Amino acid sequence: MTELATTRIPILYPTLTYRDAARMIDWLERAFGFRKHVVYQGDDGKVMHAELSLGESLVMLGDAKDTTAFGKLVRPPGDVGTSTQSVYIAVPDADAVFATARAAGAEIVMGLTDQPYGSRDFICKDPEGHVWCFGTYAPRVGAAA
């Protein structure tokens, strides 16, 4: 574990499941600026595994399947009635991302807000109910809080 603690490459990858991952990949590109890194589809055309990049970071996603060990553990928000996690993305210009997300049809949960700790944030949901938080606060490992 010591080796992981000192690595300079990303080692945390949010992983989301969707009812229609192919549609959501296109939406995430349009709304938030993600880019396809890899997309693996099964014979049925369903997305088995995809990785979308945003800067040097990646998010993993795929179609929900309750036939795999992982699929038995997780569900899209629409299957359980609420999201049980969120993804925070640090951005240099929250206003610009807000405008793009809103134009793409993101459900705005919290509008642009100046936080007392110096960040400018907003929170939205994608069309399948995953919660996405964007803000200018960008903590760094090793930096004082």
Distance of CA 49 to the CA centre of its chain: 14
Cα separation, 73 vs 68, in Å, equals 9
Q: Which fold has domain 2-135?
A: 2,3-Dihydroxybiphenyl 1,2-Dioxygenase; domain 1 (3.10.180)
Model confidence band, residue 105 (pLDDT cutoffs 50, 70, 90):
very high
* Tokens describing residue 44: 């049925």
Question: Is 16:61 a contact under the CB 8 Å cutoff?
Answer: yes
pLDDT top residue among 95 and 2: 95
Q: What is the pTM of this model?
A: 0.89
Task: Average the pLDDT over 20-32 and give the result.
Answer: 97
> Which residue has 């960040």 as its token pair?
119
Domain extents in the chain: 2-135
pLDDT of residue 12: 86
Task: Average the pLDDT over 64-89 and give the result.
Answer: 87
- Whether the per-residue pLDDT at 1 is higher than 50: the answer is no
pLDDT top residue among 86 and 68: 86
pLDDT top residue among 139 and 30: 30
pLDDT of residue 35: 97
Model confidence pLDDT, tens digit, residues 28-51: 999 999 999 999 999 999 999 999
Task: Average the pLDDT over 124-139 and give the result.
Answer: 96
Beta strands in 42-106 (DSSP E): 47-54, 57-63, 86-90
**Which residues neighbour 111 within 8 Å (Cβ) at sequence distance 6 or greater?**
98, 122
Cα separation, 21 vs 18, in Å, equals 5
Question: Is 135:120 a contact under the CB 8 Å cutoff?
Answer: yes
